[in-house]
Amino acid sequence: MSRGTERESWGPYPLILAGAVISVLVILFANPRWGGFALGAVIMVAAALRFAGYGGQLSVRSKRTDIITLAGFGFVVVLTSLLLYNSGLKALLLSLFDR
């Protein structure tokens, strides 16, 4: 395997991994809300990169399944981080399911 092929097989995986590690460090040491938001954003960036065709080590399943699971999980993490300290938004969402 040549050096260029090896580099291409990794794709954007190191970028996504570095973003996830930095986000987890922000969650642990600085602010859980913004760290969680950043982690969800990094996961959604991974979904966008997978959609654009930059698979590399990000491609685990079929392209459609990867995009749907990464985007869905990223959205849930971002929404959860936004609800962390926002009681008004929590009450609004709970009132939607109260009926």
- Name the more confident of 56 and 14: 14
Question: Whole-model pTM?
Answer: 0.76
**Per-residue DSSP letters for 21-87?**
HHHHHHHHHT-HHHHHHHHHHHHHHHHHHHHTT--GGG--S-HHHHHHHHHHHHHHHHHHHHHSS-H
Q: Give yes or no for a contact between 40 and 71, defined as CB atoms under 8 angstroms apart.
A: no
Q: How far apart are CA 91 and CA 78, in angstroms?
A: 17
Q: Quote the number of domains for the chain.
A: 1
- Which residue segment(s) compose the domain that 12 sits in? 3-96
pLDDT at 70 over 70: yes
Mean pLDDT for the stretch of residues 60-86: 87
Give the tens place of pLDDT for each residue, 25-69.
999 999 888 999 999 999 999 899 888 877 676 667 788 888 899
Average pLDDT over residues 4-26: 79
